[in-house]
Chains A and B, each alone.
Chain A
Amino acid sequence: MKSAKNSSLKNGARVAIIGGGPAGSFFGIFASKLAKDLGRRLDITIYERKTFVNQGAAGCNMCAGVVSESLVQLLALEGINLPSSVVQSSIESYYFHTQNGNVQIKSSRLQQRGIATIYRGGGPKGSIEKGIQSFDDFLLHKAVECGAKVEHVIVDEIRMEGDKPVLYSRGKMLQDCDLLVGASGVKASTGEMYEKLGTGYKAPSTIKAMQSEIELGNNWISSQFAHSIHIFLLHIPGIKFVSIIPKGDFITISILGKEPDAGYTKVFLNHPEMRKMLPPGFKIPEKFCHCFPKINVGAARKPFAHRLVFVGDASSARLYKDGIGSSYITSKAAAHTALLYGIGEEDFKEHYLPACETLNRDNLFGQFLFHVNDLISTISLLSRGYFKIIQQEQKNLQKDAHYSDILWDMFTGSRFYKNIFIRALSPWPIIRSLLASSTSYLRKVFFSHQ
């Protein structure tokens, strides 16, 4: 396939985006805005099967639904302010439940509710809550405001005809385009469709997570989970960690573990630590809205070709966190490459690939940090010392919040993992941590002899 270096998207160029989730909408928004600044007009069509207004899986893009602190701020700077109809709960703290006790963590940097919990569709099946606007629907409308069109059609075949990609749906030609943007996440069927093009693209490796929506009522959630995301690190067999994300009348239970199934939610809801947070007499419903979304845990191979670029989960994503933030980064980098440099393979390699590689390299630091975190939580001496330091830091955040900020950034996805890694290597906090662990050990020895 030939390269077309320095042939950027010209006035009137046709762009087809497959997938109307955040990655597709972000590409539509940033390409339209930059084209306008450059005095060009693009013909952008977003192909999205769903409408994001239906309840349950039919209208949902299946994810835990947290927009990180840094992304909320970046979007506000881009002029995309999330309205209260989209934000189900504004988060100001994380609450960690561990075997050594519980601790609430707030950021030492900004005293505000800066993290948004959102629904990716029209809300859980059976929800009677009114006025829910899906985050994906909100962003898709922003893309339309910027000039993109939306077609609710399934694209099931792509052919390269001459120099251009041509899209088909059930054998019927939809359009040809100057640039095709693959933004359809990590679905196996679309991954295969792209791989069949023979450009060298290979879909990213994934793991399965589990999300369940449990209705507890707004009043109960406000009193028990108010403006906090709860993380449970309880060593339940098969479960790495559980996050509880408050959203109006519901909580989203997000479970990361080995081959999760519906039984995991029931095991977790019956755990004594979780039972304390449920209403008296709470019975686990027979049926509840749940799904098993795939999470990108490895980068796609060669996420670009001549007149073709992949963004969001179909390309590179941050490990375990901030998937929507990764979509923002990759989509913006791809849109700017296409408009400022070109749509040839070499252009994407030179100007788009570095953005993906930054995420991929950063995930190596992330893997290391999560391993260390797992290790700390399994060695009770270390975890007790670590827990004590964080408790002390939270009493006076302005004085010293080194470890609290590390934990905050790791679980909120507010900072790149490399940045967290460098801060974690700072010698004085390591000495402090070892001292705290030793003190904890001596106390244990001393009290055990009393």
Chain B
Amino acid sequence: MPEEGLLGRIYKDDEIIVKEGMQSRTMYVVQSGKVKIVKSDGDKEIILAVLNEGDIFGEMSLFDASPRSATVKAIGEARVLAIEHECLLKRITMDPTLAFRIIKQMSQRIRNLNSKLSTAMKTITQVNNKLLQLNSENVTFRDRETKSSHVIDNIAQIQKELHKCNELFIQNESL
């Protein structure tokens, strides 16, 4: 691909485009490649979403002026176009329909989050019910040990399902 005609800025694999906690109001559109939205949890990195060509990110800071809520990194080489916030806000006051696509994407994200929340709530209820059931049964220590290991197996199974579910979201959803 000739470099002359590439708009935006090119980021290398794992390069940070947006850093969590930073104060910035620029919004971005992925022009080519993929980027991931991540939250750091100690040493671990939790992937919240993977965005593809044409997807928008950074729109929350555009409207609420709060620090960045997550970090965005390139997956492989990614090309990203920055959208200048002052110009965009002025254009939106002239033509409110410009915000439609941003609102549509935000609505899609809320739907996906609701779906994830619902799955997580189901898992918590299942675990809670199992623990209550275990507590209400008058069992010997040995029995309790056996039951506990059964519960742990169940939790591990649920965790696996959750993990699969999360991966499926990341692979399939086009946020």
A interface residues with partner B (beta carbon < 8 Å): 34, 37, 70, 72-74, 76-79, 81-90, 109-114, 116, 218, 222, 227, 246, 248, 329, 332-333, 336, 358, 414-415, 419
Does chain A have a CB within 8 A of B7?
yes
User: Contact between A90 and B4 (Cβ–Cβ < 8 Å)?
Assistant: yes
- Mark interface residues in B85-112 (1 if CB within 8 Å of A CB, else 0): 0111011001101101110000000000
Rounded to whole angstroms, the CA-CA distance of A416 and B94 in the bound complex is 12
Does chain A have a CB within 8 A of B1?
yes
**Nearest-Cβ distance from residue A18 to partner chain B, whole angstroms:** 24
Known: A77-B56, A84-B2. 12 other contacts (CB 8 A): A72-B81, A73-B29, A74-B91, A76-B81, A81-B53, A90-B6, A111-B9, A114-B7, A114-B82, A329-B95, A332-B97, A415-B87
Query: With a CB–CB cut-off of 8 A, which chain B residues contact A87?
Result: 4-7
Rounded to whole angstroms, the CA-CA distance of A112 and B86 in the bound complex is 17
**Nearest-Cβ distance from residue A170 to partner chain B, whole angstroms:** 39
Residue of A nearest to B2 (CB): A84
Rounded to whole angstroms, the CA-CA distance of A329 and B95 in the bound complex is 9
| Interface hub of A88, A110, A111, A246 (most chain B Cβ within 10 A) | A110
**Nearest-Cβ distance from residue A136 to partner chain B, whole angstroms:** 16
Rounded to whole angstroms, the CA-CA distance of A415 and B81 in the bound complex is 18
Query: With a CB–CB cut-off of 8 A, which chain B residues contact A77?
Result: 29, 56, 83, 88, 98, 101-102
User: Contact between B94 and A358 (Cβ–Cβ < 8 Å)?
Assistant: yes
B interface residues with partner A (beta carbon < 8 Å): 1-2, 4-9, 26, 29, 31, 53-54, 56, 81-84, 86-88, 90-91, 94-95, 97-98, 100-102
Query: With a CB–CB cut-off of 8 A, which chain A residues contact B1?
Result: 84
Give the top 9 A-B pairs by smallest Cβ distance, nearest first. Answer: A84-B5, A87-B5, A76-B29, A112-B9, A89-B4, A90-B7, A73-B83, A110-B82, A76-B81
User: Contact between A73 and B4 (Cβ–Cβ < 8 Å)?
Assistant: no
Q: Which of A70, A72, A79 contacts B101 (CB 8 A)?
A: A79
Query: With a CB–CB cut-off of 8 A, which chain B residues contact A419?
Result: 90
User: Contact between A78 and B101 (Cβ–Cβ < 8 Å)?
Assistant: yes
17 contacts between A and B (CB under 8 A): A70-B91, A73-B88, A76-B83, A77-B102, A79-B101, A81-B81, A85-B5, A89-B4, A110-B26, A110-B82, A112-B9, A113-B6, A114-B8, A114-B81, A227-B4, A329-B95, A332-B95
Rounded to whole angstroms, the CA-CA distance of A111 and B82 in the bound complex is 9
Rounded to whole angstroms, the CA-CA distance of A153 and B7 in the bound complex is 35
Residue of A nearest to B87 (CB): A70
Query: With a CB–CB cut-off of 8 A, which chain B residues contact A90?
Result: 4-8
**Nearest-Cβ distance from residue A121 to partner chain B, whole angstroms:** 17
**B contact patch SS:** mixed
Rounded to whole angstroms, the CA-CA distance of A89 and B6 in the bound complex is 7
Residue of B nearest to A83 (CB): B5
**Nearest-Cβ distance from residue B11 to partner chain A, whole angstroms:** 11
Rounded to whole angstroms, the CA-CA distance of A327 and B5 in the bound complex is 23
User: Contact between A88 and B29 (Cβ–Cβ < 8 Å)?
Assistant: no
| Interface hub of B29, B88, B98 (most chain A Cβ within 10 A) | B29
Rounded to whole angstroms, the CA-CA distance of A245 and B164 in the bound complex is 52
User: Contact between A116 and B7 (Cβ–Cβ < 8 Å)?
Assistant: yes
**Nearest-Cβ distance from residue A93 to partner chain B, whole angstroms:** 14
Q: Which of B4, B84, B88 contacts A222 (CB 8 A)?
A: B4
Query: With a CB–CB cut-off of 8 A, which chain B residues contact A82?
Result: 7
Q: Which of A37, A86, A112, A414 contacts B87 (CB 8 A)?
A: A414
| Contacts A89-B5, A114-B8; A81 near B54 (Cβ below 8 A) | yes
| Interface hub of A73, A74, A88, A248 (most chain B Cβ within 10 A) | A73
Query: With a CB–CB cut-off of 8 A, which chain A residues contact B90?
Result: 419
User: Contact between B82 and A79 (Cβ–Cβ < 8 Å)?
Assistant: no
Residue of B nearest to A354 (CB): B94
Residue of A nearest to B86 (CB): A109
Residue of B nearest to A89 (CB): B4
Residue of A nearest to B53 (CB): A81
Query: With a CB–CB cut-off of 8 A, which chain A residues contact B8?
Result: 90, 112-114
**Nearest-Cβ distance from residue A200 to partner chain B, whole angstroms:** 26
Rounded to whole angstroms, the CA-CA distance of A85 and B131 in the bound complex is 61
| Contacts A111-B9, A114-B7, A116-B7; A81 near B87 (Cβ below 8 A) | no
Q: Which of A37, A81, A227 contacts B31 (CB 8 A)?
A: A81
Query: With a CB–CB cut-off of 8 A, which chain A residues contact B53?
Result: 81
Rounded to whole angstroms, the CA-CA distance of A87 and B96 in the bound complex is 28
User: Contact between A336 and B97 (Cβ–Cβ < 8 Å)?
Assistant: yes
Rounded to whole angstroms, the CA-CA distance of A83 and B4 in the bound complex is 12
**Nearest-Cβ distance from residue B132 to partner chain A, whole angstroms:** 49
Rounded to whole angstroms, the CA-CA distance of A222 and B6 in the bound complex is 14
| Contacts A77-B56, A84-B1, A332-B95; A113 near B9 (Cβ below 8 A) | yes
User: Contact between B102 and A113 (Cβ–Cβ < 8 Å)?
Assistant: no
| Contacts A81-B31, A110-B26, A358-B94; A73 near B81 (Cβ below 8 A) | yes
Rounded to whole angstroms, the CA-CA distance of A77 and B87 in the bound complex is 13
**Nearest-Cβ distance from residue B174 to partner chain A, whole angstroms:** 12
Rounded to whole angstroms, the CA-CA distance of A23 and B168 in the bound complex is 42
**Nearest-Cβ distance from residue B12 to partner chain A, whole angstroms:** 15
| Contacts A77-B56, A415-B87; A248 near B4 (Cβ below 8 A) | yes
